[in-house]
Every structure is written in structure tokens, then in C-alpha cells.
Amino acid sequence: MKSLLVYLKNYKKESVLAPLFKMLEASFELLVPLVMAAVIDVGIAGRDRPYIIRMCFVLIALGLIGLVCSITAQYFAAKAAAGFGTGVRHALFKHIQEFTFTEMDTIGSSTLITRMTSDINQVQSGVNLVLRLFLRSPFIVFGAMIMAFTVDVKAALIFAVAIPVLSVIVFGIMLITMPLYRKVQSDLDNVLLMTRENLTGVRVIRAFNKEKDELKRFEEGNQILTDAQKFVGRISGLMNPLTYVVINGATIILIYAGALRVNAGDLTQGETVALLNYMSQILVELVKLANLIITVTKAIACGNRIGAVLEIEPEMKSGTMKWPDRMQADDSGMPAVEFDHVSLRYKGAGADSLSGITFRAERGQTIGIIGGTGSGKSSLVNMIPRFYDATAGEVRICGKNIREYETEDLRSHIGMVLQKAVLFKGTIAENIRWGKEDATDEQIREVLEISQAQEFVETKEGGIQFQIEQGGRNLSGGQKQRLTIARALVRKPEILILDDSASALDFATDAELRKAIRGMKENPTVFIVSQRASSIQYADQIIVLDDGEMAGIGTHDELLKTCPAYQEIYYSQFPKEEAASNE
């Protein structure tokens, strides 16, 4: 939590002025019982009406000044807390953007969503309350005790006993509830994860008639969260009754002792009333302080969780080398991409997902990658834009280790189309401009033509200005895939990776797409990941993967003769008679 306080540095003035004005308000509030004592002992006892009226005006003035101070403090506290929350959100979001796929896989998106929303809101509320009440409440409590000693030392000893007892109750409950609130937030993460899974997978749930099972699972998770909240709530709920018992007990003793001393003539009626007012002020402030402690306890727990995310250092460090210009790259004679005995093991995995991968991809070549489900096809291409780092061996681009390149510059020269077609809410043009911000309408239409999307885009109302819903819900699977390919092509990449991105396209459209990409004047090096043999059979090189290892590499004809794994895949899709006629 301490690490987050740095985001208050731009609000130092507000952070000082907010508690300062609150303490000014408290100071005027502490004077009210003394004025009331004077009204009783001087005005009422002496039947001095002008004095009573003057003192009433003094009370009104103290109230108005206190109100102005309170509003001013609220303004500064709200400004500082809102600015603090904004700073933490920006910092956390920026930090998350630096995470590699490894960190994202480890932490989980539901956890990060909770940190960005619920946790930051809780911390922001905590900062707001701390600036307003953290100094004011103790100031009132101890100030009332000091003022009580100025009224009567013997009666004030009751305050000296009551306040330490109250402090033990308040801080004892705080220490018990802090770890429990952390558990509550963890249970909340689990409920959010289930909610997110149910919302994103609602069609699958309905298709398999799993609504009742998911409802039961959600109810169980929600019950765990409810029970945890109830348990910690019961402990926190002890604070108010225990403080009321102590305060009211002290009030009874104070009234009894005050009555005896008034009867003996050692204390005036006004002084007794003043002491009771100070005890009432302590009661009110301790109730506020109790609520503050609960909120601050939650805020600290949430702040520690946010701090834990911010402390995670991305394992992948960016290099400093820039991508060589095309002329320089062509003259170097180096392959566009080279894998040299590369292995990859995901964090926490017991075995390598890829091992001993070695191949060269020359500039302008088309490389096909094929293999069974789980053979490591996506893992291989994800290493080219450095989504994951090799655990052994080297991945080289233009002869240089990929780790030496500046990550952002490296990825700006690579067009990546992931397995899952993801589109964002906005127009078709806005989605394609994710690939290149300053792309003109003409450039957008050109890549739509290459990706075979122009035909259906023209039928949409507004053309490239057609509004896409979140996640591309108003488009078919094939339409979404073609638009994601267009988004990758618009940046004119030197390396283009199509990770099973044509699975929803028919064979004719798939063939037209590959033909159009081969005809691009930029002549990119293309990696095509597919489970369709037809999609990669005309590639310059085909890499066959089997359980994370290379089962073969070569052209279609070479692999049909020498690679059993490729033969099995190919003949499972094309019967031998049909395959012979195709060749």
C-alpha cells in the first residue's frame, strides 16, 4: 500500500489542506461546549438575556465557520482522492500492457479486472476518508479529553480511562479483520471469474444445456463469498456496540460523579454539561473512526493487492536495436527468420511444449506449419513477435537475436493474425486502423481487397463506416477473420503470420486470399499455420510438428515421400485417389 502513495505527490497541497481544514473545523467544534457552559453558568444562572443572545450568535458563527471549513476540506479531499485513483489506474493499466503472455497467463484476466475496478475504487474511497477523518477523529477524541482536563481534572480522569479501552477495541478489531478482508477480495475474484466465463461462454453453456450446472457452481462460489463477508462483518459489527458500551458506561459514571460534585459545590452545572458534551463528541467521533477503520482496512488490503501486481517485473526485457531498413536487410544475405535449436516451456509446465526446432525462412518465402492439435503450431509462431521467449536456443531475425530488438519496433514490422478473431466496438475503418493509425481510406480498401473482405463490406450500410458491435457480434466468423487479416496487412508487414486465421473460410476464398497475399508488392515472409493441408501445400517450405518436435520439413512433394506424419494428415483430408488426381 505504501508504494501507491507516490501517486499523491501531485496533490501535496490538497493532501495538506484537506486535513488542515478538518482540524480547523474540529477546533471550533471543541469550543462549543465551553460556550454552552458559559451560557448555563453566566447567562441562565444570572438571567442575563443579552449575554445569552450574544453567546447564541457566537454559536452560530462557530457553526458557519465550521461548515465552510468542512466543505473546503471535502473539496480538497475529493480532488486528491480522485486524482490519486486516476494516477493508480493509469499506472496499473500501463504496467499490465508491459506484461508478456506468460504473466497474463499466470495472473489471470479476472484478477486484473478486479484490481483495475473494485480494488482501485476501494483504495480511492479509503484515501478520501483518511484525508477527511484520520486526523480529525483522533484530534477530537484527544482534544475533548484535554478540554475536559481544563474544565475539571478529577472528572476528566474518566476520559483518561475510557479512551485507552476504546483504542484497544478499535485497533484490535482492525488487526483481526485485515487478513479476513483479503480473503473476501480473493473470493470476489473467484466470483468475477465465474461471471466472466458465463458471460463470454453463454452460447456454449446453452448449447450443452449446462445452465443448471453453472447456476449451481455460481451459487456455491457466491455462498462462499457471502459467508466470508458475513463472518468478517460480524467481527467488524462488534465495534459499534462495544464502543457504545464503554462510552455510555463512562457517561453514566460522569453524570453520577458530576452530580455529587455539583451538590458539593466543586463543579458547576455548566461545567457538567460541557463534560457530557465532550463525552458525546468522543462517542460520535469514535463511531466515525470505527467506520473509517473498516474502510481503511479494506483499502489497505486492496492496495496491497494492487501493489503486488505493480511489483511484478515482466520477465521479458526490451532490446535497443532497431529493425534494419529493407535495403540493408536485403544486402545482408541473412534469412528473414531463423530458429536455431529452439525450445519453449511455459511457466509452471512440467515439460517443453517445443523442443529442438531448427529451420530458416528466407525473405519472401511462404512457410506452412501443420500438425495435430496441441503439437505446438501456435507456440512456434508466437515466438516470432516475441510473445514468449525461447527457454533454449535462439530465434533470429535478419541474423540478429530477437532479444536484441526493441520490442515495440520489432512488432511494428510483423503482422500477426491470432487464432481467435477479436474485433472492437467501432467502425470497420477504426478496427483496421489498429494496424496503422494514419491509414487512408484508399489503403483500407486495398487491404480489404487482398483479404477478400471488400465484397461483404460493400454490402454493409456505410461501407467501411459500418459500426461493429463489441467482439464483432454482428459479423459471421469468416467475416471477422477476413477483417483481422486486413488489419494485419494494412501496416505492410515484412513478416506476416496467419495463425489458423482462415479456418472459417471456404476453400475457394482461402485460395484467393493466399493468391492475393503472394501477389503483394511488399513480398512479405509469410507463416501460415493451418490444419488444412490444402492451405499450406503450395508453401515454399512446410514444417510438420508432432508433440512439440519437428517431424519433417520440406516441400509438399518431399514430405509426401518422406514424412509419415504429413502423409497421415494429408491422406486423412484427401483420399489417395483424389490426392493423385490433384497432383
pLDDT (mean) for 59-79:
91
Strands 495-499 and 414-417 come out as parallel
Query: 123-141, pLDDT tens digit by residue?
Result: 999 899 888 888 888 888 8
The pLDDT score that the predictor gives to residue 326 is 59
- The answer to whether 541 touches 398, Cβ cutoff 8 Å, is no
Per-residue cell: 42:
453566566
Number of neighbours of residue 453 by Cβ within 10 angstroms: 26
pLDDT (mean) for 104-129:
85
> Which three-class secondary structure string do you get for 379-430?
HHHHCCCCCCCCCEEEEEECCEEHHHECHHHHHHCEEEECCCCCCCCEEHHH
Residue 462 has pLDDT above 90, yes or no: no
C-alpha span between 402 and 180 (Å, rounded): 46
pLDDT (mean) for 440-455:
90
pLDDT (mean) for 55-74:
90
User: CB pairs under 8 A, 24+ apart, for 199-203?
Assistant: none
**Please, which residues have CB within 8 angstroms of residue 275's CB and are 6 or more apart in sequence?**
33, 148, 151, 152, 155, 156, 254, 258
Q: Which residue has the higher pLDDT, 78 or 238?
A: 78
The pLDDT score that the predictor gives to residue 143 is 84
pLDDT (mean) for 197-211:
87
pLDDT band for position 576 (50/70/90)? Answer: low
Residue 194 has pLDDT above 90, yes or no: no
Taking Cα atoms as reference points, which of 339, 409, 319, 411 lies closest to residue 379? Answer: 339
The pLDDT score that the predictor gives to residue 200 is 77
pLDDT band for position 106 (50/70/90)? Answer: confident
Residue 245 has pLDDT above 80, yes or no: yes
Q: Which residue has the higher pLDDT, 525 or 3?
A: 525
Write down the mean pLDDT value for the chain.
85
Percentage of residues in the chain with pLDDT exceeding 70? 97
pLDDT band for position 578 (50/70/90)? Answer: low
Strands 366-371 and 525-529 come out as parallel
The pLDDT score that the predictor gives to residue 583 is 53
**Within a 13 Å sphere around the CA of 302, how many CA atoms are in the beta-carbon half?**
27
3-state secondary structure of 308: helix
pLDDT (mean) for 556-578:
83
Residue 65 has pLDDT above 70, yes or no: yes
Residue 163 has pLDDT above 90, yes or no: no
pLDDT band for position 176 (50/70/90)? Answer: confident
Query: 303-351, pLDDT tens digit by residue?
Result: 888 888 888 888 788 888 888 865 455 556 688 899 999 999 888 777 8
Domain boundaries, the chain: 2-10+84-310
C-alpha span between 466 and 458 (Å, rounded): 10
**Would you call 91 exposed, middle or buried from its count of C-beta atoms within 10 A (0-12, 13-18, 19+)?**
middle
**Across the chain, how many H-helices and E-strands are there?**
23, 12
pLDDT (mean) for 150-174:
80
Residue 580 has pLDDT above 70, yes or no: no
Residue 535 has pLDDT above 60, yes or no: yes
C-alpha span between 114 and 92 (Å, rounded): 12
Residue 254 has pLDDT above 60, yes or no: yes
**Please, which residues have CB within 8 angstroms of residue 41's CB and are 6 or more apart in sequence?**
268, 269, 270, 271
pLDDT band for position 522 (50/70/90)? Answer: confident
Per-residue cell: 332:
545482408
- The answer to whether 525 touches 337, Cβ cutoff 8 Å, is yes
Distances (CA, A) of 426 to 22, 28, 383, 421: 47, 56, 30, 15
Question: pTM to 2 decimals?
Answer: 0.70
104-108, 454-458, 469-473: least confident range: 104-108
Residue 41 has pLDDT above 60, yes or no: yes
For 2-10+84-310, which CATH superfamily applies? ABC transporter type 1, transmembrane domain (1.20.1560.10)
Angle (CA) 565-566-567 rounded to 5° is 90
Taking Cα atoms as reference points, which of 504, 457, 511 lies closest to residue 478? Answer: 504
Number of neighbours of residue 426 by Cβ within 10 angstroms: 14
pLDDT band for position 381 (50/70/90)? Answer: very high
The pLDDT score that the predictor gives to residue 358 is 93
C-alpha span between 40 and 6 (Å, rounded): 51
